[in-house]
Amino acid sequence: MFSIEVGSIIFFITLCLSCALFYKNFSKIIRNINLGKSAGEFTDKKARWKNVFFIAFGQKKMFKKPLVAVLHLIIYLGFVIINIEIIEIILDGILGTHRILYSPNWAGWYNFLINSFEVLALLVLVSCIIFLIRRNIIRISRFHNKEMEGWPTSDANLILIFEILLMSAFLIMNAADLAMGHVNKDWPGTGSDFWISGLLAPYFHSMSFSSLYFIFKFFWWSHILGIFGFLNYLVISKHLHIILAFPNTYYASLTPKGQFNNMSSVTNEVKIMLDPNSDPFSQPENTSSPARFGAKDVTDLTWVQLLNAYSCTECGRCTSECPANVTGKKLSPRKIMMDVRDRTEQLSKGIDKHGENFADEKSLLNDFISPEELWACTSCNACVEACPLNIDPLSIIIDLRRYLVMEEAGAPAELNSVFSNIENNGAPWQFPASDRLKWKEDE
């Protein structure tokens, strides 16, 4: 009995440590998202929950690519449903029991559950292998843009390999368990073989009970430690989308995609400029001007835009639909989202080291995203439409353009003449405003 107690204690400590570590790191992500500015009110809760239900839970937008959507759905359902088994694993781990939820009274139900988990586990395993093949052998082009070089590609492969290992551990653990029952009739079974591990078990029948027990324990521990590890891997990975997809779809914009927000800070200034009674030299007393117009760094973006960045799983559907990217321009909406997350993480590390007022010489604009990328955007909303999670790279592009134009007068020369034409003639071209109705005369 002593050995079980040691096992229980080690298990309990590992469980607590991994949960505490996840809590600490996930809190940091929430802190980082809150580095963003206020995003205003979120009205129409009904429509928002509808989006969470259909787009996050239902994965509606994934189904634009049906085959991938089915494979993704399998992994998602597998992940959610097989994790029910974790309840039993954790209880067994803490109490030192074996399949605590099993009782001969509901053997049918228990076996049905484990059988479903096993079928799902096999399907997940196959799906992950197909995904690995798509990425690495078929080499689907959207997984191999420039921004995917290095860590992002390893991250994607690691997630898939992780899942394959977890599913294998789960199936082998069950197979060893069944084999133990075959070798030693006193080993508590569940009354029948499981569907998938039952096929594996005969390969173990020639082994001794103690070897099987070791294999069982080894894979039992690998499986649960793998899950703890995976949980903590999430916070440094693009895989975080499995959590943030839900808030992200809730807070996503509900207005027509063509509509850009009106900057209220600008409205105040414009009203003063247009008011004939206002003294142009007086400073408005109560209105504090914003630090800057538009966004130069991630702290100028809203927290929803930062949540967008942390929710991005780098699937690249946005980039593969982007007209600028498709025709070989530098702009990639996915890179915009990755840059926002990378820059936020950079600030986060600085804040951890130097305190909350940390500032450095770097910024999102220029150090991560170049004006060339920004000016290639046609604002066509293809990226926003393509995103399975309703991430909005376009709003970030526009906020960066706003900074470039309003703070640095950094628009391309042609656009600067368009601006002065609009100011002087009320049209982007150099025609006199007095000719505006001429169209009806000339033939």
Partner 1 sequence: MNLTVTTMSEWRSKGQTPEVLFWVGSAGSFDDRAKKITKAFVKIMNQANVKFGVLGLEESASGDIAKRAGNEFLFQMQAMVNIEVMNSYNIKRIVTTCPHDYNTLKNEYKGLGGDYEVLHHTEFIYELINNKRLIISGDFKGKKITYHDPCYLGRGNNIFSVPRELIKKIGFDLVEMPRSKKTSFCCGAGGAQMFKEPEKGKQDININRTQEALNMNTKVIATGCSFCNTMITDGVKLLAEGSVEVLDIAELIVKAESL
Residues that bind partner 1 (CB under 8 A): 64, 255-260, 262-263, 266-267, 269-271, 273-274, 293-294, 321, 323-324, 326-331, 372, 375-382, 384-386, 398, 400-406, 411-412, 414-415, 418-419, 422-423, 426-429, 431, 433-440, 442-443
Rounded to whole angstroms, the Cα distance separating 39 from 254 reads 13
Taking residue 44's Cβ as centre, other Cβ atoms within 10 Å add up to 10
DSSP code for 104: G
Helix axes 209-234, 151-183, angle to 10 degrees: 150
Question: Of 361, 338, 339, nearest to 350 (Cα)?
Answer: 361
SS3 28: helix
Q: How far is the CB of 36 from partner 1 (least distance, A)?
A: 19
List the structure tokens of 115.
């059988």
- Kindly tell me which of 361 and 441 has the beta carbon lying closer to partner 1: 441
List the structure tokens of 97.
């029991």
369 backbone dihedrals φ, ψ, rounded to 5°: -115, 125
- Kindly tell me which of 5 and 372 has the beta carbon lying closer to partner 1: 372
Q: How far is the CB of 274 from partner 1 (least distance, A)?
A: 6
- Kindly tell me which of 91 and 270 has the beta carbon lying closer to partner 1: 270
Q: How far is the CB of 153 from partner 1 (least distance, A)?
A: 23
Q: How far is the CB of 246 from partner 1 (least distance, A)?
A: 23
- Kindly tell me which of 106 and 260 has the beta carbon lying closer to partner 1: 260
The residue type at 78: G
Q: How far is the CB of 416 from partner 1 (least distance, A)?
A: 9
Q: How far is the CB of 318 from partner 1 (least distance, A)?
A: 12
- Kindly tell me which of 48 and 257 has the beta carbon lying closer to partner 1: 257
Helix axes 107-136, 84-95, angle to 10 degrees: 110
DSSP letters for 205-250 = TTS-HHHHHHHHHHHHHHHHHHHHHHHHHHTTSGGGHHHHHHHHHH
- Kindly tell me which of 169 and 374 has the beta carbon lying closer to partner 1: 374
Taking residue 338's Cβ as centre, other Cβ atoms within 10 Å add up to 19
The residue type at 301: L
SS3 369: strand
- Kindly tell me which of 348 and 421 has the beta carbon lying closer to partner 1: 421
Q: How far is the CB of 75 from partner 1 (least distance, A)?
A: 25
- Kindly tell me which of 224 and 387 has the beta carbon lying closer to partner 1: 387
Q: How far is the CB of 443 from partner 1 (least distance, A)?
A: 7
Give me the sign of the Cα torsion angle 247, 248, 249, 252.
Answer: positive
